[in-house]
A and B are shown apart, each in its own frame.
Chain A
Amino acid sequence: MVQPTIEETRLSTEQAIQTYREGARISDVDALVVDGLSVYYETESGTVKACDDVTFTLKQGERFALVGESGSGKTTLAMALMRLTRPPGHIAKGSVTLHERDLTNLSDDEMRQARLSEIALVPQGAMNSLNPIMRIGKQITDGIIDHLLDDDPTPNKEELDEIVRDLLTRVGLRPGVSRLYPHELSGGMKQRVAMAIGISLRPRLIIADEPTSALDVVVQRQIMQTLGRLQEGLDASIMLVGHDMGLVAQFADTIGVMYAGKLVEVGPVEEVFSDPKHPYTKLLIGSLPSLQEKREFLGIPGLPPQLVALPPGCAFADRCPSRFDKCGGSIPEKLDVGGRRFVACHLYEEEVQS
């Protein structure tokens, strides 16, 4: 088989929209409702509002992609959804409701039980997310064992072996991998193990934080395909965190754009790509390589603001080509612009009111 080159595998905007997942089964059931979630880091130089007043909803079976520059708060948000925020970070406000259960109100042990069994993490940089001195099989089963309820029968070794074999096969690995140690696996194999662990208790929500960063393009594709297949098999929802717009566009149903700790635009992938509303989203999509023009990846001029010292108005104002008087004065509210689309930008206030 001839291996595709990087150029061939990178998607242009047009291709990305064309290959968008058609006829996806998204139910009407709310799986995840995030309301006004704010996560702050208390540092010596001040409070870092890494995730500020974030609100969005995910339906059961929906694939939601969260994109944004590095440092925009994507990991912070992902960890907060699992209540894994560590000091100096803390969840300052807001609620996370998973299938009508408010996770922010659970006791620590209830939350521990919910992790993996209802909300699972496929981590960023699976390279180091496995315990270096424990065999893969054991790292898959220990999560299962720690989630047994009092009246559950304790599975014996054969049953556990069977479960591990099944999970490894599902993610496309040989069963023999269970006897290996993490350093004996390639990056792609480790990422697959991370997925096997993630689905081991059939969670209802999978959070995948840049699952393909640090992998080469061909492997990225395969991993994303496997992830999609697994998610459909479980009928779970998925939140994919990523910065590769092409990869995201091909995979997700809905896209959320994060900038400086805020969710600035949410909407169905095809519509956001064909008609981006927020000036930042416009620049992001405009900077993607296009089939017709074949121009260089431009990037966005300017730097993201310091999260400790945010400007009083819109955080994007410094770099925004469409800024006007109002932008420096007040923080734009999230607006419902119809068609399941939301945008936080002063430009659309009149349009919505009229």
Chain B
Amino acid sequence: MTEQTQAVENSSRFGGTSVSQIFLGIFGHFIVKRFLFFIFVVWLASTVIFIIPRLSGQDPVKEKLLLEAQRGGAMQTGLDAMAKKYQKRFGLDQPMWVQYTNFLKDLARLDLGVSIAFFPRTVNEIVFESLMWTLGLMGTVTVIAFILGTLAGAVLGWPRRPGWVQYVFMPLLTLAAIPQYLLAMILIFIFAFKLGWLPLFGGYSVATLPELSFSFVIDVLRHAVLPAFAILFSVVGFWAIGMRGMMINTQGEDYMIQADAKGLKGSRIFMRYAVRNALLPQVTGLALVLGTIVTGQVLVERVFSYPGIGDILFQAIRLSDFFVIRGIVIVIILGIAGATFLLDVLYPLLDPRIKVRS
């Protein structure tokens, strides 16, 4: 946790009904503080992103045009004039501080600029579209993997589990050791190539146009199955191993011995004492992972040519599409900072020991 939250000892002096009022007052204030911190992080990171490319001394527009010119075999004459024109268009001929304030203004309006490679499409359009694919796939898979993995880990870390549990879950965990892209290729080979049950690549069939129809939804789901499983298998193991470790730690706690001494039912000890306590670090992990899913899964998305943000990032780097790269990095920053902000705000509700400093 960050330094802003801490366990406050001996708050018992706040007895009586005023506790909730005091708490709400502090809490409201605390959220404001955390939000300002969130804004600060985003500003700082964005500024770094603004500065770094300019330190390299390269001119992204010129590079790009040069690349196009070579590819097209066009004459290099007039290239400078053309570059000037483009730079004017993208505002790159302005003094640095004007560019910077413009950049911040655009950022505040969440306007990420225009793509160089896919001109005149805006970065917002491109990033938003691919983000939907990535979030749809990764968000769903992450949440399912978290639930399955945590459940499996909870049962595996429970000394009174039935014996067969081990034989079901343990092989599943070994899948976590296989790299995602390798698992992706194995799945493609078996289910798409050999058996032909599922499509080989893409987010939807080439012949269809994106529309909101039943058959299109089915088509999208069929395309999502293999990438989803490739990611799911490896991530379930991650959550299961973490949860199992926490459950085993919990067993040694005094309150677990006392729960037994109280003659509580096994199910209550499992859920209310062991799982509920072991879950706390898992939730922290989930929030951080949810923050990073906007980065997409470059390897898996490449293998499946899935139109997610990882795939777009790969293309943008290849085409040196500076503005798209910058837009994606900003989205990643927003995702991670946003998840941290949410975690800070919600965690005190899960763990009463973490309270807010007034």
Q: Residues of A at under 8 Å CB distance from B?
A: 79, 82, 84, 112-117, 120-121, 123, 125, 127-134, 142-143, 146-147, 174, 176-177, 180-181, 183-186, 189, 194, 197
With contacts A125-B254, A129-B255, A132-B255 known, is A116 near B12, CB below 8 A?
Answer: no
Contact B12 A123 (CB under 8 A): no
With A and B bound together, what is the CA distance between A112 and B160 in angstroms? 14
Contact A176 B15 (CB under 8 A): yes
Task: Indicate if B9 sits at the interface (CB-CB under 8 A).
Answer: yes
Sample 21 A-B pairs with CB under 8 A, ordered by A number.
Answer: A84-B257, A112-B265, A114-B263, A116-B261, A120-B261, A123-B254, A123-B257, A130-B255, A131-B255, A131-B259, A131-B276, A132-B255, A133-B277, A134-B276, A143-B262, A146-B262, A176-B15, A181-B352, A183-B352, A184-B11, A194-B258
User: In chain B, what residue has the closest Cβ to A176?
Assistant: B15
With contacts A131-B272, A133-B352 known, is A115 near B16, CB below 8 A?
Answer: no
With A and B bound together, what is the CA distance between A112 and B264 in angstroms? 7
With A and B bound together, what is the CA distance between A53 and B280 in angstroms? 43
With contacts A128-B255, A133-B277, A184-B12 known, is A142 near B261, CB below 8 A?
Answer: no
Residues of A within 8 A of B277 (CB): 131-133
Residues of B within 8 A of A115 (CB): 260-263
Residues of B within 8 A of A116 (CB): 261-263
Known contacts A84-B261, A113-B263, then 9 further A-B pairs from the complex at CB < 8 Å, ordered by chain A residue:
A79-B257, A115-B262, A116-B263, A121-B258, A121-B261, A129-B254, A131-B255, A143-B262, A194-B258
User: In chain A, what residue has the closest Cβ to B266?
Assistant: A112
A79, A174, A180: residue with the most chain B Cβ atoms closer than 10 Å: A180
Contact B268 A146 (CB under 8 A): yes
With contacts A142-B272, A183-B7 known, is A147 near B263, CB below 8 A?
Answer: yes
Residues of A within 8 A of B258 (CB): 121, 123, 129-130, 194
User: In chain B, what residue has the closest Cβ to A185?
Assistant: B12
Residues of A within 8 A of B350 (CB): 133
Q: Which of B7, B273, B280 contacts A131 (CB 8 A)?
A: B273
Q: Mark B301-327, 1 if CB is under 8 A from A, else 0.
A: 000000000000000000000000000
Q: Which of B257, B259, B268, B353 contacts A181 (CB 8 A)?
A: B353
A-B CB contacts (within 8 Å), total count: 89
With A and B bound together, what is the CA distance between A282 and B150 in angstroms? 56
With A and B bound together, what is the CA distance between A184 and B273 in angstroms? 19
Task: Indicate if B68 sits at the interface (CB-CB under 8 A).
Answer: no
Contact B253 A142 (CB under 8 A): no
The 6 A-B pairs at the shortest CB distance, nearest first, are namely A115-B263, A121-B261, A128-B254, A129-B258, A143-B262, A129-B254
With A and B bound together, what is the CA distance between A111 and B356 in angstroms? 43
With contacts A125-B254, A133-B276 known, is A180 near B12, CB below 8 A?
Answer: yes
Contact A142 B268 (CB under 8 A): yes
Q: Which of A82, A130, A186 contacts B261 (CB 8 A)?
A: A82
Residues of B within 8 A of A176 (CB): 15-16
Residues of B within 8 A of A181 (CB): 352-353
With A and B bound together, what is the CA distance between A127 and B253 in angstroms? 11
Task: Indicate if B351 sits at the interface (CB-CB under 8 A).
Answer: yes
A187 CB to nearest chain B CB (Å):
11
A6 CB to nearest chain B CB (Å):
23
Task: Indicate if B10 sits at the interface (CB-CB under 8 A).
Answer: yes
Residues of B within 8 A of A125 (CB): 254
Contact A197 B262 (CB under 8 A): yes
Residues of B within 8 A of A133 (CB): 276-277, 280, 350-353
With A and B bound together, what is the CA distance between A115 and B352 in angstroms? 29
Contact B261 A183 (CB under 8 A): no
Q: Which of B7, B16, B255, B265 contacts A146 (CB 8 A)?
A: B265
B211 CB to nearest chain A CB (Å):
48
B265 CB to nearest chain A CB (Å):
5
Contact A112 B263 (CB under 8 A): yes
Residues of A within 8 A of B263 (CB): 112-117, 143, 146-147
Residues of A within 8 A of B7 (CB): 183
User: In chain A, what residue has the closest Cβ to B14?
Assistant: A184
A267 CB to nearest chain B CB (Å):
29
B121 CB to nearest chain A CB (Å):
50
User: In chain A, what residue has the closest Cβ to B264?
Assistant: A146
Residues of A within 8 A of B265 (CB): 112, 146
With A and B bound together, what is the CA distance between A79 and B258 in angstroms? 11
With A and B bound together, what is the CA distance between A184 and B12 in angstroms? 5
CB interface residues, B 1-32, toward A, < 8 Å = 7, 9-12, 15-16
With A and B bound together, what is the CA distance between A181 and B352 in angstroms? 7
With A and B bound together, what is the CA distance between A115 and B261 in angstroms? 6
CB interface residues, B 114-143, toward A, < 8 Å = none
A182 CB to nearest chain B CB (Å):
8
User: In chain B, what residue has the closest Cβ to A189?
Assistant: B12
Contact A129 B268 (CB under 8 A): no
B209 CB to nearest chain A CB (Å):
52
With A and B bound together, what is the CA distance between A194 and B257 in angstroms? 13
Contact A174 B353 (CB under 8 A): no
